[in-house]
Structure 1
Amino acid sequence: MNHDHHADDSNGHQSHHAHMAQDFRTRFFVSLALTIPILALSPAFKSLVGLGDMLRFSFEQYALLAFATAVFIYGGKPFLTGLRDELAKRSPGMMTLVGLAITVAYGYSAAVALGLPGKTFFWEAATLIVIMLLGHWIEMRSVMAASSALEKLAALLPSTAHRRSSGGDVEDVPVSDLAPGDEIIIKPGEKIPADGRITEGESSVNEAMITGESVPVGKSAGDDVIGGAVNGEGSLTVEVAKTGDDSYLSQVISLVRQAQDSKSRSQSLADRAALWLTIIAIASGTLTLLFWFGIAGRDFVFSLERTVTVMVITCPHALGLAIPLVAAVSTSIAAQHGFLIRNRTAFEQARRIGAVLFDKTGTLTLGEFRVDAVYPVDGREEDDVLRLAASVEGHSEHPIAKGIAATAEERGITPASPQNFEAIKGKGARATVDGAEVAVVSPGYLEEQDIDPAQHLPQEALDHEGTIVHVLVDGQPAGAIALADAVRETARPAIQKLQSMGIKCMMITGDNDKTAYNVAHETGLDDYFSEVLPDRKADKVKKVQDKGIVTAMVGDGINDAPALAQADVGIAIGAGTDVAMETADLVLVKSNPGDVPAIINLAHSTRRKMLQNIFWATAYNALAIPLAAGVLAPWGIVLNPATGAVLMSLSTVIVAINARLLRISPASA
């Protein structure tokens, strides 16, 4: 199989989810439109809202039956199918309860409409169907968004490659046609289409989107390259080593899919509560019918009315809203505080987080170089050395060059206009500045020129653990500039806050150990893992999870996608890549690590509200069921189905009000 297979497979997943989301959306709007006349015609609903005998006409019951039948068959189909499937698996849950409630309410109401003495419950069944269709539509939209992350990964590879034939000619072919042993040409600025080994040429290759290493890596003959990385200024000839499912990027895609699929099997809190409510509803309804008809000897209509009242009062309007309403309010609060919730189950897990693993580049750091120190020689001033370097690098797009230029601008240093600019492949650049030849070069260039930096630089510069470039004027050392990836100002306070909450903070990075140590020391991390490639990042997350610790991963790049998906809670920095955001459960819009403890606090507050609502939705009904069953009938107190519907509606109102009270508890509470 080849790379195109992954695109086709992810498109298939996406098409399936899109179809399901569209199906729920259509059923929701059609059922909503049909429910309006049901409400207008239902005697119980009109009495509830004070309309009394308004809108009455002949054959009203048959019109109600027609509209209700349409909603029951068309809108209720997903739940009736779910009822059948859950019972077949002997795993009753929300679908069983919803399917049972609408079936009992509709079936009895249809019998009443056709002549059986009693009350109809068409509006209760219709509104329940509409609410549940809306919830499932929203859920499928979330699933669809998560699946599109695989498309973004597949799109990293170019669609064509420049393949050299045995005769030496170069032809453009689809990437899917490449095979191990083929020779391909990668021009400056192009994406590398497949894993392989360089046979000719040298260049710098930007692998940040794949490995997380922020500095472009110098490559020459004999070095390996990864498909999806971006070639720099040189032209490369590469012998293809791996394609299709064997390629590095395809393995990353597989890791993301596996983690996402395993996460989708999580069961929601609402389903667990629905299981108990289902048991209560079925048992109470059955016992009620058996008692009144079989033991007490009452007539069947009275017995059935008691049973239907029990089913209606247990009708899960409140349970259907208990979590969605709190979810909607907490999502709004989260957005106001700068983070987006994409996966509700994972967000609820955030309250149990025991360890947070951060990516380095772009997460704890800005992902941009800044000058950390300047070491002038021959009596020069620091600003003079920085000015010369900025004059040469001012028009380059290389990350180191941009870092030097940005620091010079921040310090108010005005660079000169360079002449005769020339790039030194993989080693730096040179230009004429103020009449002198100025070169900004790597340590490797100094080695080639037999220049020993120890002869002119202080020991502090030689020991610096950041990235070093040297400035030469007419071939002689003028100074050195040390650069480092700037740590975010909010990183250390965020880590201190998390640690105060009893949460371990660690870092996973593709960078070298020295760089990782510096960032870990500066931010106060508990531990770190360096030189970790993406396929190993997910393993590091799993290693922490295997200790029984609920783990969060915070990252920003495609290289973090498998780890984000593997984590119990995946958190993407908003300034990162689309695939990181779409693989993650939560997105920090402001790219602020300080939002991580705020997420955990909001998760705690949200959990409390959900438990309160679920307790009310279940306990209220459980307490009302004996009344509906007729436990006080010997004393002349009997609830009819209409009164049961009012009590059921009251529980829904209380749940809704309680959900809105979450606004009183801010994210920082």
Structure 2
Amino acid sequence: MPKKELSSDGKNHHQSHQEKHHDHNHMIHDFKRRFYVSLAVTVPILILSPMIQMLLGFHFVFPGSIYILFVLATFVFFYGGWPFLTGLRDEIIKRSPGMMTLISMAIIVAYGYSSLVIFGFQGENFFGELATLIDIMLLGHWIEMRSIMKASLSLEELVKLMPIEAHLIINDGETKEIPVSELKERDRVLVKPGEKIPADGVIVKGRSNVDESMLTGESVPVGKTVDDELIGGSINGEGSLTLSIQKTGEESYLSQVLQLVQDAQASKSRTQALSDRAAKWLFYVAVGAGAITWAIWFGLGYGFDLALERTVTVLVIACPHALGLAVPLVIAKSIALSASKGLLIRNRMGFEEARNLDAIVFDKTGTLTKGEFRVTDIVTDRKEEELLKWAASLESQSEHPIA
């Protein structure tokens, strides 16, 4: 980002936003890398898995192949499954089991049982299911995080609205160039024609038309005079203004808008909340079903080995592959579409409820139009070119915003 377009009262705000942006970007690349690496290792795991071979009707075994399968699966479990294992720890600390607990339960049980089978325990290994489950969940989380990152780019555009310097008026009436981040309450600044307003304040001298379209959506410049308030980031028109600073930093209008959008991105939608609750209850149901499965099979006289294999099968199958992928895909699509249309979502719950709307009432046309003036039609009983020449000559010296 060019320095002259950096944030203002948002300079510190800009830095914190950049840090969050960098951390989020790092996490996206981390999930992407883990997904592709795990996917590549999954291919030989599936080829070497006895259950997959039986399902597809081929046989591929060589000396030590079962141990190579164990090594590859161990790599995928720890490398690809690490984000979910750390998520399990966090959910246990909070005593609120959710999707991470459900995923971790499935991969831990699958890996632990399959490892026992490799080293002599009677049963079938689940390394193929383990690897594909981790791949699908990594893909879902990567897609969700990438969509949120795309939406957060709208915040960068808001940050760009602010100038980096202001003309501070000192005691003798002269002006001094200072960084906008150094402005304090009640400082007086000079805003020249065509410049951006450096911070929220009140006009103490001058008169002008101010373009606030980038903040309010209204394309018509607003007439401003003494005692009128100005929003930082809006553009001064044809007159010079002396401004008394009222709000800086986190108190400014733009910073509050930024915070609203960031809060919305951090919040969970109704779909996410529902999936979290479903995962929580599904975890309890899966554990209960696993215990009942073991009790029934063992109680009917089957061996401990077979009863344990059936129990592990239930616990692995209980992890909802579709839920882990479908919810992130829905969220990704809705966020990406809204961001591409210029929508800054304040509340995800409200955004989802918008599907029930029957009518929308707009209080200004600027939210619906292109935000700029243009000639749409020429109605005349003379030649159009002749009329345009007259209009151009009349308006060539005009400072009116529509001219």
Q: TM-score range by the shorter chain?
A: 0.7 to 0.9
Once the 2 structures are TM-superposed, how far is the Cα of residue 231 of structure 1 from its aligned partner? 0.9
- 1:278 is matched with which residue? 283
3-state DSSP of counterpart to 2:34: helix
- 2:25 is matched with which residue? 18
Using CA pairs under 8 Å that are at least 6 residues apart, name the structure with larger relative contact order, 1 or 2: 2
The 3 A distance-change label for structure 1 pair 174 and 324 is closer
Q: Distance in 1 between matches of 2:65 and 2:401?
A: 86
Q: Distance in 2 between matches of 1:163 and 1:93?
A: 54
Alpha-carbon displacement from aligned partner over 1:613-653 (angstroms, at most 9, x marks no partner):
xxxxxxxxxxxxxxxxxxxxxxxxxxxxxxxxxxxxxxxxx
- 2:292 is matched with which residue? 287
AA of the residue aligned to 1:15: H
Once the 2 structures are TM-superposed, how far is the Cα of residue 233 of structure 1 from its aligned partner? 1.8
Q: Distance in 1 between matches of 2:98 and 2:21?
A: 26
Would the aligned equivalents of 1:105 and 1:308 in 2 still touch at CA under 8 Å? Answer: yes
AA of the residue aligned to 2:39: L
Identical residues among aligned pairs (%): 51
Structure 1 unpaired stretches of 5+: 369-398, 430-669
Aligned to 1:408, which of 378, 381, 389?
Answer: 378
The 3 A distance-change label for structure 1 pair 25 and 185 is same
Once the 2 structures are TM-superposed, how far is the Cα of residue 342 of structure 1 from its aligned partner? 10
Are 1:310 and 2:344 an aligned pair?
A: no
Q: Distance in 1 between matches of 2:322 and 2:208?
A: 63
Q: Distance in 2 between matches of 1:88 and 1:160?
A: 47
- 1:72 is matched with which residue? 77
- 1:223 is matched with which residue? 228
Would the aligned equivalents of 2:213 and 2:366 in 1 still touch at CA under 8 Å? Answer: no
The 3 A distance-change label for structure 1 pair 68 and 407 is same
The CA RMSD measured in Å over matched residues stands at 3.5
Once the 2 structures are TM-superposed, how far is the Cα of residue 37 of structure 1 from its aligned partner? 1.0
Aligned to 2:86, which of 81, 89, 109?
Answer: 81
3-state DSSP of counterpart to 1:188: coil
Are 1:254 and 2:255 an aligned pair?
A: no
Would the aligned equivalents of 1:13 and 1:147 in 2 still touch at CA under 8 Å? Answer: no
Alpha-carbon displacement from aligned partner over 1:163-193 (angstroms, at most 9, x marks no partner):
2332343332110111233332222211111
Would the aligned equivalents of 2:114 and 2:124 in 1 still touch at CA under 8 Å? Answer: yes
Q: Distance in 1 between matches of 2:303 and 2:246?
A: 81
3-state DSSP of counterpart to 2:97: coil
Would the aligned equivalents of 1:203 and 1:425 in 2 still touch at CA under 8 Å? Answer: no
- 2:55 is matched with which residue? 48
AA of the residue aligned to 2:318: T
Q: Distance in 2 between matches of 1:93 and 1:427?
A: 56
Aligned to 2:44, which of 37, 40, 43?
Answer: 37
Q: Distance in 2 between matches of 1:342 and 1:222?
A: 31
- 1:375 is matched with which residue? none
The 3 A distance-change label for structure 1 pair 163 and 209 is same
More displaced 10-residue stretch of structure 1: 73-82 or 265-274 = 265-274
Q: Distance in 2 between matches of 1:126 and 1:104?
A: 13
Q: Distance in 2 between matches of 1:220 and 1:2?
A: 23
Q: Distance in 2 between matches of 1:260 and 1:196?
A: 29
Once the 2 structures are TM-superposed, how far is the Cα of residue 60 of structure 1 from its aligned partner? 1.0
In the superposition, the TM-score normalised over structure 2's length comes to 0.83
Q: Distance in 2 between matches of 1:413 and 1:276?
A: 72
Would the aligned equivalents of 2:192 and 2:241 in 1 still touch at CA under 8 Å? Answer: yes
AA of the residue aligned to 1:416: K
Alpha-carbon displacement from aligned partner over 1:426-483 (angstroms, at most 9, x marks no partner):
6987xxxxxxxxxxxxxxxxxxxxxxxxxxxxxxxxxxxxxxxxxxxxxxxxxxxxxx
Q: Which has the higher strand share?
A: 1
- 1:361 is matched with which residue? 365
3-state DSSP of counterpart to 1:267: helix
AA of the residue aligned to 1:11: Q
Would the aligned equivalents of 2:190 and 2:240 in 1 still touch at CA under 8 Å? Answer: yes
Aligned to 1:112, which of 117, 122, 128?
Answer: 117
3-state DSSP of counterpart to 1:101: helix
Structure (1 or 2) with the larger CA radius of gyration: 1
Q: Distance in 2 between matches of 1:209 and 1:167?
A: 35
More displaced 10-residue stretch of structure 1: 214-223 or 351-360 = 351-360
